[in-house]
Structure formats: structure tokens, C-alpha cells
Structure 1
């Protein structure tokens, strides 16, 4: 709605609400002239002829023949003065407005007061914040003088005063005012609370997030704001609440939640054209990195048009180097780029750059270790440009998270070596632990080394059997039956593992204690961290899993009419369309006599065939013999 439409709507509402006796149909000539001048002034204002419009409205005010159009002209004069940015005229016409306001009816006066107050909700171009503070003081003074019972107007004026104090960066006074407002609104009706509490909390968030952030207070405010069910909050308020919610999530290292909050905050500020959208976009880029999101921040249409802002350009360089794991360019940007240093100086984001550095270092180490079987600490230090102690802490952290559980960290030789499996045999038993203790610390036992023999495992069983069984074990050496209990399993042998002041009376008790120690050691070995897959990789894996499920379902069905792995078009032939009646019918049963006759007939036919064959052979033989006798001469008749 344009200013012209807004003013026309105001006038229509004013005429409906104006409390005067409208029964008289006759209008004097003077009132008609004032009405004409009033609308002529509004038309001049629409044409942006502000000085001429103000002169027309002043003529109506000076004539003072019709209170209705005098009051309307005064309101228009205030609006024109605001557009001109003339502080003196704003204050003069505003004083006149408050002077005429008590002459209006209550409902019409409150509506005019509210609409005039709305004109000062935003900074006035060309006017100082001190002027706005004086304006709100006038509004507040009028409400006190008139003993207004309209709670909404009182809250709105106090919110305006708090905004003016924030514009002056008078945070201490603004904080006290907003605390009173929060208590007042919280104790009011649900309608008041749902309308104004969110805005009060948003202004308190601005104070809590200024300078050194009060995370505890910010967390309290964001929790209250997110629980409110405000129907349609302003875009600016949404931007403030979501930005502060993202900051709390960043300090809690919940970077995914922060990433989502900053995205919504940017959209809120962008809708109302607030300049804070650039600052929020910078936070969004850092949270996008730390959340390890695969989505490029500028793939969304909301962020297009900001890629040429100098601050955004620098942070996008940082983003690109991290995504490419280009450790050399990343270090150069942090240590040598003066523009980046200037950008981070005093910036809240500087507190989270160490998290980004750790992220790119971890990515580089994980990729670099895959290229070699053994890598020295010194080489990694040279690449990362960090101290040895920092590298050791990072490697131990990676090992504890299970990301390099198949690597051995040699803190003496200062190397990282690929070992292929776990550092501890998963099948190790308590008796194996005891055997190793006996072998590596046998000098603490009162048993000569020759008594252990070549097979330490078998010898250890004999030692345990001798000590912990009352009955002698067959074929067991007698030397061990005379040894005291402390020499077979001495406290000194177990002391590196188990701090115990006593000897064990049974093998079960000993193995139980060793089993607890073994479980403790196994629990300290991290399990291998799951491999993170990109979205494309996950889609491919899901597709393969679905194919495997289909094949397994086909195998469970068993024998089917068709093979589902072969296209249907090649599984059907014309043979399937043949009718059963066309196929060969089974032979009918015949009697024994008929079968005998058929056999005889077949036998007779066979004999006749053989006779004919015999005659044919005999004739051919005779003719051949005669031909041989006449060979070389003439053949006679």
C-alpha cells in the first residue's frame, strides 16, 4: 500500500470515527474550501511537491474554521515534515497534534495516536537519534497527562524509547527499560503477551549480543522466544531471534542447528532490507563449514547478489580452501592476508576460526595418511605449520574418536604407522595376560629360568595346577609344591596391572581379577569411526541395497513361472498359446487278442521284407558273376 492509499484509508476511517453531529446535511462554504485545500495538499504531496503541500496544510491550520480538517491538516503537516527531514517543523507540528488530540473522540484519538506513533517506528532520514528520543518523550508525556488506560499504546511508546536508546548505544539505560517492560508484559494478558513480548525479548537480545556476548542471558532469552506462539512476527524480529539462537548454538558447538538458524535469520533481515543481513551471512558461511554441510551457501537464490561484497569474498576464499583441503593456501590466508586479518579483528567469528583450522587439519591428516604406510611427525608438522605438542594432541584425539584406529602412534620414534588391524588381539584371554607377565617378569619369581622350559604355556598350567589344587597333579614336578604362594603369583608380578595387597587362593579368583583388567583395557581402545559418505554416495549405496533386497526376495519366492532377472519380453513363446486339445493324445488300451494279431501281422511283414531282400541280393550276385566271366571279350546274347 502506497503512502497515498494509506492516507486515503486513514481519512476514510477518520470520517467514520469522527464524533460530531453529522445529521446536518448543509455544509457551509468555509468548510468546503478547507476540504478542497486538504485534498489539494494531499495531491501535491503525492506529486512530491512537499513544500507547496506543507504551505496548503498550513493555510488550513491558520484558518481554523473546521476542527476536523484542522486536525487532519496537522497530521499531514507532520508527515510532510518527516519526509522533508526538518526536525524543527516535526517538533512544532507534533506539539500542535498533541494539543488538538484531546478535542477528538477517544476511539478516534487513540487510532490517530497509534498511526502517528507508527510513523516514528523507523529512523527518520536526516534526523538524529536524539530527535527520536525527544519524540517518544512527547508521546510518553501525553499518555501520562491524559491518564490513558490504553496499555498497548503505553507498551508501544516504551518500545520506541528503547529503540531510540539502542540507536544512541545507550545500552545500560535501554537494558533497565526493557527489563521493566519484560516484567510488565509477562504479567499482562495473553493477548498483550503474544503481541509484544517477542519484540521486547528481541531488543534484549540485541543488548546481550553486543560487545562481549552474555551467552547465559542470550540462552535464556532465546528459549523464551522460541516457546512463544506469536502469530505473524515481523521479519526484523525473526532475524534477531534466529541470529541469537544461532549464536547460542555456535557456543554450544551445535553447528548444524546454528547453520539452520543463520539461514532463517538472513531471510528475515533480507525481507525487511536490514543491513545486518551481511553480518548474518558471514556467520552462515562459518557455520556451514563447521557443520560440514555439502551444500554450497550460494547455490540458494536467497544469497545471490552478495557474492561481490568484500567481506563475503574473503570468507568464500576461506570456504573454498577448506573444501579443497588446500592447507598451503589456507595458512597463507590466515597468516599473510592483511584484509582477512582486518576482517577478523574484533569480529565475533574470530572465536570460531580455530574450529575451522582444526577441521581442515583433520581432513588433511586423514587424506595424507592414506598415501603412505608410515609418516613422521616432523613431516606433518611441516605441512600443517603447527607445534609438535599440538600435533600429538590432534593425533590422540583422532585415535580416541576411532578415525585412525588402524594406525599405530609411536610417541618415541615420532611416527604414525599403518598396522591394518587392532592394536590388541580381540581373542586374548586372562590366562594369556598371566603368561606374558610370567615371561616378562620371571626375574621377580623364586623360580629359576630353567624351570619354565620351552613351552611357557604348558609350564604355566603346571605351575597353576600345583599351587591351586589340593591334590597333587599327576606327573607334576615336585619342586613347585614346596614353593610359598607369594612366589608362584607374587604381588610384585601383578603390581603393574592390579594394585592388590594379597595373594590369590584360587585360580578362578585370579582369572576373574585379570578378566576385569582385560575388559578395562579393551574399553579404552576406540572402535572404528563410521565412514562419512556424501549425499551422492549415500544415494548410490541405498540403490545397491534396494537391488540386493529385490534379489533376495526373488530367491525366497523359490520356483516361479518366470525368471525376474530376464526381461519379460523374452520369457514368452508361442508354445504357451497352444491348446491342450492340439497336443498328442495318450494311446487307448487294447485287448490281448488284438495285440496278438498285431504282433503276428508285424512278424509276417518282417519275414516278407527279409525274403524280398534275399532275392534281391541273390539276383545281384548272379549278374555280377556272369559279368566277370566275360571280362575282356564280347558279350553274347
Structure 2
């Protein structure tokens, strides 16, 4: 009897403890939802007081214990104080929240809440970079204190977030060191039985080659690192996207258009590019070799956008279209605003590739066809295809965001130069002698800078062999050389004598342009490049279009001369052999 009575007493006592815990949870839950209701009604001050009562009630009911409702109350207090610009208080509550991670809530729940909270803080305009860095550092410090029990996933994600913050703040050296550390972590995770020294001794390229056999988590982490490293590399080399764009070279047998002095107004080849940044290209290729991964769409958007830019820099516009469309779809799936940028690049690459495929035939791109930024690019492409100079410049003047894009700027400027050259060819066709000031006026520009700009275009046309003539800089006149009316139906270079004369004329013109004395001359084209006097920003007809950096203009001239020397060498070889 006594034993049975003891058993009954034991069961009764246990039930009392369980009921007490349930009552405590109910009290905390009611207090929490009362405070949350006040917050939803806009009573922020009363809501904050309610969440603080949850914390006080938790201490009163459980002693020093911590639980789920206290964790949730602290999370709400952080959101509330950030929105109220009370950032130091928010940081204090966040530090208190981190003490709940070890035992008060499950690891998966704490990882999810802290990750969402850090993402929200990173996207908030109220949190300055310096304070955001403190949130990251305190999170990492807490995870390090946990030792072997730390959440590797939360640690890695927080380090990557810190890396993006360093990228935003321009701390490139620190970010480079962080990336090396995270790559070592991934290599160590891929070889859990190897020592740290052995794992770090393996070349990174070798590890990448084995990524196809890595697990999904490591593969996804590697793609995150590659995406971040690509953005770092693009920030370190902002000029890598600039392609050298050359006009179509004069070639034997090219038909003249109405006069031997003025060649056909054919379009040039855009994107005879310099090689893309080798490290960026290597990162892109290594990212494509990662097979076993389930990355976030935003990460794949970054990687594919980088690939599209690499292809465009190398002049492979069809490949660029493929990658840029994939980037657009990934950004669209992630809801990232970068999708419109990729769609603009896609329209441009599609035109440069002479593709007959309309990007807006796809279901993904169709809803964005009428976006103002996209409409501007479509209008620009239409103006180029119709060779309408005034329409082209009007679009650039109205939509300045086009030239504000560092990646698009060199391509758009090259297209503008081609349209201008075609327009000049049409203007000069009826004339034997024409004033440069008149040509500038017809192009909608006035002043000395405009005339120097037109002179530069004329020099380019002469050196390319698209017109025959000389420039009298003292008189400001272009004199065209004519060979008779029958030249309209014959090649520009009909016999050996004319071929020899043409080669000599081209060589003399190039020698004149490169002569040091000419560089010192106030009227020289190269001098105007060096002094930056040919800036187009102040011209009414081409506002904001010209390069104002003297070094860029000089570099353009030197690249053009390099192409012309190569063409001259090839022509001489063909003629004399």
C-alpha cells in the first residue's frame, strides 16, 4: 500500500511541475502576443514596453533561464529600435539575443532567425556600415566562443555577409584575405580527415577540379565565394570591360558610293575587344565546373552576368546573349533589381551579334519591355540600325543613365562614332572641298571643340581608307581627291600605281599624326587629345558623349593606329609578293 501511495504521490508531483511549466509558457505567450498586437496597431512605445515585460516575466518565472518567448521578444525589440533609429539600443538587445543561441532555442531556429535578421539589417538604410560591421563581429565572436559546437553554416554565411560589406566600403585588401580564409575552410571541409596544413597545401585549382564530387553544401559555398570574388575583381579592374572598337578596314575591291573620294558608308565592327581580365575569366570558368550545388538564384545571376561581360569584352556576342539571358532569369527569380541592367546588356549584345532572335519573345522578359530604362536602350538600338545620328544623340541626351553605366559606355560611344562617321560620309559625298566648321554645324555642334572632334573623325576615315583627301588645318578645310566619274563603278584601287600611291599616302598620314612636332602643335589632333580640349560634354549636339579623359582619347588613337599599321603591313605584303 505504501509503495503504491508513493507511486501515486510521485505521479501527482510530476503533473504539478508540468502544469506549472505550461502555465508559465501560456503567460509568456499571452504577454508576447499582446505586445505584438500593440506593435501592429502602431503603438510602438507600448509595444516596446510589452516586449520588455515578456523578458521580465521570463526572469521571474524561470529564474536565470531563457526560453523561446524571450528570444522572440528580443528579436522584435531589435527590429523596433532600428526602425526608431535607436541603433545602440538595438545592438545591446542583439548581444542579449546571442546568449539565447546556445540552449534556449534549437540550432536550426536560431540560425534562421539570426540569418534573416542580419539580412534585414544589411538591407536597411537606417544601419550605417560601421554599426553593421559590429553586428557581424559580435555574431562571429559568439560562434567562435562555442568552439567545436559552433554552427559552421551560420559562421560561413556571416563571414560572406561581412565580405560584401567590405566590398561596399572599398576594403579590398581585407576582403582578399577573407576570401583566402574561406577558400581554406572549404578545402578543409572537402577533406575532413586531412590535417589543416595538408588541406591548405593543395592548390586551389586542383580542388576546383574535384568540385563535381563535393557535396551540395560545399559546392554552394564555393559558388558564393566565386560570386563575391568576381565582384571584387571587377571593382579592382574597372576598365577591363572597355573594348577597342574599330571601323571596318578599307580593303581592295571595296565599292565606292558615288565617288572614289568617298567610300561606302558601311558600318564598322564593334567589339574587336581586348582580352577580358584573365583572373575574372578564370573565376567564371571555375564556377561553371561546380556541378554539385544548389545556389541561390542571386548567386547564379552574378556568375552569369560576369560571364556575359567576359564574352562581350572578347567580342563573342552570341555567347554573351546566352549568359546575360540566364543572368536576367536568375535575378528575376530572386527579385533582384539587377535584372533590368542585365536586360539592357542583353538588348545591346543581341544587336551587336546581329541576332534575329527578339529577347522580348520570352515570357520572362516580356513584362519588362516597357520599363523606361529598357525602352531607352531599344530606341538607341533602333537609331543605330537606321543610322539616324540626331535620334541617337537625342536618346543619349534624354536618358543619361545609359552613359552613366560604366560597362555600356565604351560600346555606346563606339556605336555613336560609327553613326557619326556614316553621317559624315553622306554629308561629304557631293563636295570636292568642304569646311570642317560646316560639317560640325550639320552634325548639330558648334565651337572649336566640335570642329576638333569632327577633324578627329575625318582623320580616322582617311586612315581607314574610307575617304581620300587631305586636311588643311590652317584653313579648316577638307580637300577630297577625285579620280573621275567612272570611279563609282570601279574599285578604289584599280592598278599597281594607284595601290602604291594609296599605301604611300596612308603611311605619310600616319607618320604625320605620330610626328613629335605635330604633338607639340596647338592644332594637332594628338595634342587636343593630350590636352583634353576635344571634350564633347559642352557641345549642344553631343552632350555628355565624348571622353573627357585625355589618356582615354590618346589610348583610343594609339589603338586605332596599331590596327592601321597592321593593315598597312598586310597590304604591303600582299602587294609586293
| Common fold by TM > 0.5 | yes
Secondary structure, aligned partner of 1:281:
helix
Secondary structure, aligned partner of 1:348:
coil
The equivalent of 1:630 in structure 2 is none
The equivalent of 2:472 in structure 1 is none
Q: If the length of structure 2 is used for normalisation, what is the TM-score?
A: 0.56
Q: Distance in 1 between matches of 2:123 and 2:325?
A: 29
Deviations 1:209-245 (A, max 9, x none): 2374352332121111111114322121121111111
The equivalent of 1:387 in structure 2 is 457
- Quote the offset at 1:202 in angstroms: 0.8
Q: Distance in 2 between matches of 1:37 and 1:54?
A: 17
> Per the alignment, do residues 70 and 102 of structure 1 end up closer, same or farther by CA in structure 2, a change over 3 Å counting?
closer
Q: Distance in 1 between matches of 2:571 and 2:464?
A: 22
The equivalent of 1:175 in structure 2 is 176
The equivalent of 2:321 in structure 1 is 259
Q: Distance in 1 between matches of 2:573 and 2:424?
A: 25
Mapping 1:26-45, distance limit 5 Å: 26-27=16-17, 30-40=20-30, 41-42=32-33, 45=36
- Which of residues 349, 354, 357 is equivalent to 1:292? 354
- Quote the offset at 1:207 in angstroms: 1.8
- Which of residues 201, 207, 232 is equivalent to 2:232? 207
Q: Distance in 2 between matches of 1:109 and 1:72?
A: 12
The equivalent of 1:437 in structure 2 is none
- Quote the offset at 1:80 in angstroms: 1.4
The equivalent of 1:314 in structure 2 is 376
- 1:243–1:261 Cα contact (<8 Å) kept: yes
The equivalent of 1:353 in structure 2 is 412
- Which of residues 312, 325, 329 is equivalent to 2:387? 325
* Unaligned stretches of 5+ residues in structure 1: 1-22, 369-373, 398-409, 426-432, 434-519, 526-637
The equivalent of 2:136 in structure 1 is 136
> Per the alignment, do residues 265 and 342 of structure 1 end up closer, same or farther by CA in structure 2, a change over 3 Å counting?
closer
What is the RMSD of the two structures over their aligned residues, measured on CA atoms? 4.4
Q: Distance in 1 between matches of 2:35 and 2:346?
A: 46
Q: Distance in 2 between matches of 1:265 and 1:280?
A: 7
- Quote the offset at 1:350 in angstroms: 1.1
- 1:327–1:360 Cα contact (<8 Å) kept: yes
Larger radius of gyration: 1
- 1:38–1:69 Cα contact (<8 Å) kept: no
The equivalent of 1:484 in structure 2 is none
* Unaligned stretches of 5+ residues in structure 2: 1-12, 191-213, 241-276, 444-453, 468-479, 497-569
> Per the alignment, do residues 365 and 395 of structure 1 end up closer, same or farther by CA in structure 2, a change over 3 Å counting?
farther
- 1:255–1:291 Cα contact (<8 Å) kept: yes
Secondary structure, aligned partner of 1:102:
coil
- 1:377–1:388 Cα contact (<8 Å) kept: no
The equivalent of 1:629 in structure 2 is none
The equivalent of 2:511 in structure 1 is none
- 1:58–1:73 Cα contact (<8 Å) kept: no
> Per the alignment, do residues 333 and 118 of structure 1 end up closer, same or farther by CA in structure 2, a change over 3 Å counting?
closer
Q: Distance in 2 between matches of 1:231 and 1:43?
A: 43
- Which of residues 341, 344, 354 is equivalent to 1:282? 344
> Per the alignment, do residues 414 and 524 of structure 1 end up closer, same or farther by CA in structure 2, a change over 3 Å counting?
farther
Secondary structure, aligned partner of 1:352:
helix
- Quote the offset at 1:159 in angstroms: 1.1
Q: Distance in 1 between matches of 2:164 and 2:173?
A: 13
Deviations 1:385-409 (A, max 9, x none): 6734422455679xxxxxxxxxxxx
Q: Distance in 1 between matches of 2:169 and 2:63?
A: 38
- Which of residues 180, 189, 193 is equivalent to 2:218? 193
The equivalent of 2:110 in structure 1 is 112
- 1:58–1:77 Cα contact (<8 Å) kept: yes
Q: Distance in 2 between matches of 1:53 and 1:290?
A: 58
The equivalent of 1:80 in structure 2 is 76
Q: Distance in 2 between matches of 1:89 and 1:412?
A: 82
Secondary structure, aligned partner of 2:119:
coil
Mapping 1:15-30, distance limit 5 Å: 24-27=14-17, 30=20
The equivalent of 2:295 in structure 1 is 233
- Quote the offset at 1:360 in angstroms: 5.1
Secondary structure, aligned partner of 1:121:
helix
The equivalent of 2:160 in structure 1 is 159
Q: Distance in 1 between matches of 2:492 and 2:458?
A: 25
- 1:377–1:391 Cα contact (<8 Å) kept: no
Deviations 1:9-51 (A, max 9, x none): xxxxxxxxxxxxxx95544555334322443324763782574
The equivalent of 2:146 in structure 1 is 146
- 1:74–1:96 Cα contact (<8 Å) kept: no
The equivalent of 2:93 in structure 1 is 93
- Quote the offset at 1:248 in angstroms: 0.9
Greater RCO, CA 8 A, separation 6+: 2
Secondary structure, aligned partner of 2:293:
coil
Write out the 4+ residue segments of structure 1 that deviate beyond 6 Å after TM superposition.
361-366, 374-379, 381-386, 420-425, 520-523
- Quote the offset at 1:265 in angstroms: 1.6
Q: Distance in 1 between matches of 2:489 and 2:110?
A: 81
Q: Distance in 1 between matches of 2:486 and 2:235?
A: 45
Q: Distance in 2 between matches of 1:141 and 1:97?
A: 13
Secondary structure, aligned partner of 1:274:
coil
- Quote the offset at 1:305 in angstroms: 5.3
> Per the alignment, do residues 327 and 93 of structure 1 end up closer, same or farther by CA in structure 2, a change over 3 Å counting?
closer
Q: Distance in 2 between matches of 1:280 and 1:416?
A: 50
The equivalent of 1:58 in structure 2 is 52
